[in-house]
Amino acid sequence: MQSIVYVGMDVHKSTFSLCALNGETGEILGETQCASDPKLVVKFIDHLSDESEPGTAFKAGYEAGCLGYALRNALVRLGIDCVIMAPTTMYSQAKHTMVKNDKVDARMIATNLANHTYAEVYVPDNQDIEVKEYIRMRNDFCSALKRVKQQLSSLLLRQGFHYVEGSAWTEKHLKWIKGLKVSPLLRTTIDEYVAQLEEFAEKIKRFDQELDEIAHNDRYAEKVGELQCFKGIATTAAITLQVEIADFTRFPNARAFMNFIGMTPSDHSSGEHPNNKGGITKQGNTAVRTLLIECTRSLVQGHVGSKSKRVTRRQVNQSTRVIAYADRGTEHLQRKYQRMVARGKNSCVATAAVARELAGFVWGMETGHLD
């Protein structure tokens, strides 16, 4: 049987802490700290290889973090088998919280590698990564736009201005802001906020147009078109789901996908307190979890079973089976939300519960389980 040496790496921007562990005996074969250069990791492994039995295999791993996929891809190109480990799935002893440093972390990572007590992070291809980075850049601008709106609203409130003629941030609202009679210096301050707001809004519009073009590429068009059949999932949400998850078939069932994005209830059952469920675990892909909750807020609005013209347009050219599945899922989720709210459940709790089931319907659409 081939022996395997597991190399745990605690990685940071400027340094790597390495720990090599014998997979059979658990013996620590070597430890070191080096600069953040993949070639130095290869040098460390080559040195261990010279001292090991012929045919010994090496497997490296590090926790998902600031270095993303870059280090793993670099090591693979250099001939090193390397995995990225999901931190929330790794086993950690209680004493690790009392004594924690880079050396201890590297040992813990190596131990998890050797014992296979971790879940491997899926590594998408370069095109998915590029689209994902573009979407996250777009979301950063959305956050910046929201922050400018909050700052401008606070300014107007401090100055005693209240808009009561309709919804905020419409063209009418912006015209009202621009027409306020204030001192020259305050006018300059307000105009600067408005200019920044309009600049961000124009950029986001341009980003959405680019994403719409990407969504119509042959690579994404089919799956994005199917996801858009659900109420609440428009182009940007659909392409985000596609590139964040990429391969839905790696989840054996819908519950596995729900677990992956942290949408399943936490459990604190013990002794005389069985079946003590808590809130959702919030472990896993934060971007997808947040997105599905936002989509759910849109999905549950309106009358049960009603379909807007926008959703109808998105369903054009889709198969009858896909449309029926999406409509059936949408109506089921709307009814579930209304039942929960009618029973007195908090709307946020109801939204999270419905978002969890929406994740299941999304998995079914992506994997062809439409029955």
Q: Which two tokens stand for residue 232?
A: 């609440």
> Do the Cβ atoms of 68 and 123 come closer than 8 Å?
no
Strand bridging mode 265-267 / 277-280: antiparallel
Q: What's the whole-number mean pLDDT along residues 104-108?
A: 94
Percent share of the chain, pLDDT over 90: 84
Alpha-carbon distances of 204 from 193, 249, 286, 366, rounded to whole Å: 17, 32, 21, 27
According to the model, what pLDDT value does residue 59 have?
96
> Do the Cβ atoms of 21 and 6 come closer than 8 Å?
yes
* Alpha carbon 328 to chain centroid, angstroms: 26
Q: So where are the chain's domains? A: 4-115, 126-215, 232-367
According to the model, what pLDDT value does residue 273 have?
63
According to the model, what pLDDT value does residue 1 have?
56
Residue 231: name the closest of 297, 134, 138, 178 by CA: 297
According to the model, what pLDDT value does residue 331 have?
96
> Do the Cβ atoms of 102 and 15 come closer than 8 Å?
yes
Q: What's the whole-number mean pLDDT along residues 113-122?
A: 93
Q: Which two tokens stand for residue 108?
A: 């813990």
* Alpha carbon 151 to chain centroid, angstroms: 27
Residue 44: name the closest of 85, 83, 81, 7 by CA: 7
Strand bridging mode 81-85 / 57-63: parallel
Sheet holding 81-85, edge to edge: 28-35, 15-22, 4-11, 57-63, 81-85
> Do the Cβ atoms of 193 and 152 come closer than 8 Å?
yes
Please provide the DSSP assignment of 79-142 as one string: T-EEEEE-GGGS---GGGGTS--HHHHHHHHHHHHHHT-S-BPP---HHHHHHHHHHHHHHHHH
Q: Is the pLDDT of residue 45 over 60?
A: yes
Q: 33 by DSSP, 3-state: which?
A: strand
Q: 253 by DSSP, 3-state: which?
A: coil
Handedness of CA 239, 241, 246, 247 (dihedral sign): negative
Q: 201 by DSSP, 3-state: which?
A: helix
Alpha-carbon distances of 358 from 242, 261, 286, 329, rounded to whole Å: 15, 12, 16, 8
Residue indicated by tokens 């190399």: 7
* Alpha carbon 42 to chain centroid, angstroms: 31
Architecture in CATH for domain 4-115: 2-Layer Sandwich (3.30)
Mind listing the pLDDT tens digit for each residue in 259-294?
999 998 887 766 666 666 778 888 888 999 999 999
Mind listing the pLDDT tens digit for each residue in 221-273?
999 999 999 999 999 999 999 999 989 999 999 999 999 999 988 877 666 66
Residue indicated by tokens 């590594």: 123
Q: What's the whole-number mean pLDDT along residues 73-77?
A: 96
Q: 13 by DSSP, 3-state: which?
A: coil
The pTM (predicted TM-score) of the whole model is 0.86
Q: 158 by DSSP, 3-state: which?
A: helix
According to the model, what pLDDT value does residue 280 have?
84
Strand bridging mode 265-267 / 81-85: unpaired
Residues in the chain: 371
